[in-house]
Structure 1
């Protein structure tokens, strides 16, 4: 099982991201995630990754851009182009494409505009050998007004754009916090998922601290054939190393118990 630690939410006491990466490596992680590349000293992080032999599993584009606004299309494209260049320096192969606010648009118009913007950038990512990930994020707790909050809308956009460089990040916490049936959405998205992230709900802390049925989730993840990396994107209640060890234990027990 391959994991990644999220060095935006974990090891914050260590200081800047390169030092958080070092702390994650010392805790046994060979891969990490971070958020906006625009806020990051990319060369310094790339140097630390090489020194520590740690992979950058994924990072995100600028979430302040209203991608559904045609007037913001050039800014969005420039952000993705910059992210692709950053990925080249970092050795990353997956980028979360943040879609910004919904602007109060009706669903059909919103999906149309988001799809149009993504049609422009998907071929650019493909040419660079990078996959762009759509991540639905909940509007009930963490991201009110987000342009992409449901897994169903993500599937609709993926179907409309229909490009191999555009795939789905399934965040179990966001799906649960949005009130979705997590197992059902995982099954419906089985051929689209390129990355899975875990946190418990409510609270967005380490698995085992909330109400999510991890045995059920692991059973469905196994059922749909997902064998990729598991991103541990949560705010730890315990110290980071302890919380991450707990998360791995909870998931691996659920995974083992899901074998019939």
Structure 2
């Protein structure tokens, strides 16, 4: 089954959040069979050879292991682990390598929380992302910067708001650095999703979705996802949509609800 016949967008789903009792390579193979691309989190947790053997289309993966945007030591560590991760990404053919303002640890909490982001930190973050672009050109890969919500899931993460990630990525304005615009996080922290997509459109590399509240598949919460799908098509977006959501029940039913929400 191909999602191209039912949706104007390439659809993908985060493998770690579905069929949680199954091996990750089984999940990747099943997503491929169902016509979805595969999103991954941290690669050291997986057998890369087994994932390669699935032949799945890997759409996005965490693009670093440790480090942060905001200071010299953190930036050097982020670049070092991003370079290592780029090699794995190329083995799997991962289309986008994902970044955050700082490394995330247990339960998605920042390893080094920052409550006040200073002007010096903003300048350093932009410098770090410029170094990421240089790395991306050297390795022939593309990185994305993801927004996160601060009130519920990721308090203390610098540059978490979509308006912050948009400001950084648009100021660099390079095709090797795009936005991973996560609308679940944006709905919690900012709202006004259609206008946010419109403002971000020139820099979007991927859009990720989950319903609010609960972070389950589309249709379980408050967001009118089919309305957003129609708005995205009208504004000319044809890039990937990734479901980064827990299944509220059966994983395949959750995927079909996701597909239906983005079928126009």
TM-score between the two structures when normalised by the length of structure 1: 0.88
Post-superposition Cα deviations, 1:166-222, rounded to whole Å, max 9, x if no partner, equal: 111111111101133111211111111111112111111011100012243123212
Instruction: Quote the residue 1:34 is aligned against.
Output: 40
2:130 to 119, 123, 126: 119
Instruction: Quote the residue 2:184 is aligned against.
Output: 173
1:144 to 147, 155, 177: 155
> Quick check: 1:8–1:34 contact (8 Å CA) kept in 2?
yes
Q: 1:173 to 1:107 in 2, by over 3 A?
A: farther
CA drift of 1:126 comes to 2.2
Q: Is structure 2 residue 77 aligned with structure 1 residue 55?
A: no
CA distance in 2, matches of 1:12, 1:162: 38
Q: Is structure 2 residue 205 aligned with structure 1 residue 189?
A: no
- Contiguous gaps of at least 5 residues in structure 1: none
Q: 1:30 to 1:215 in 2, by over 3 A?
A: closer
Post-superposition Cα deviations, 1:134-172, rounded to whole Å, max 9, x if no partner, equal: 110111111111122212111211133232211111111
CA distance in 1, matches of 2:261, 2:173: 36
Q: 1:180 to 1:22 in 2, by over 3 A?
A: same
Q: Secondary structure at the match of 1:190?
A: helix
- Contiguous gaps of at least 5 residues in structure 2: 1-6, 103-109
1:103 to 105, 114, 134: 114
1:24 to 31, 35, 46: 31
Instruction: Quote the residue 1:237 is aligned against.
Output: 248
CA drift of 1:125 comes to 0.9
Q: Secondary structure at the match of 1:57?
A: strand
Post-superposition Cα deviations, 1:20-49, rounded to whole Å, max 9, x if no partner, equal: 2123234x1342001112333323322233
Instruction: Quote the residue 1:14 is aligned against.
Output: 22
> Quick check: 1:196–1:231 contact (8 Å CA) kept in 2?
yes
CA distance in 1, matches of 2:45, 2:70: 23
Q: 1:136 to 1:63 in 2, by over 3 A?
A: farther
> Quick check: 2:117–2:158 contact (8 Å CA) kept in 1?
no
> Quick check: 1:67–1:76 contact (8 Å CA) kept in 2?
yes
1:204 to 196, 215, 218: 215
> Quick check: 1:11–1:23 contact (8 Å CA) kept in 2?
no
Q: Is structure 2 residue 164 aligned with structure 1 residue 153?
A: yes
Instruction: Quote the residue 1:3 is aligned against.
Output: 11
Instruction: Quote the residue 1:71 is aligned against.
Output: 73
> Quick check: 1:110–1:147 contact (8 Å CA) kept in 2?
no
> Quick check: 1:97–1:134 contact (8 Å CA) kept in 2?
yes
> Quick check: 1:63–1:98 contact (8 Å CA) kept in 2?
no
CA distance in 1, matches of 2:123, 2:53: 40
> Quick check: 2:71–2:121 contact (8 Å CA) kept in 1?
no
Q: Secondary structure at the match of 2:201?
A: coil
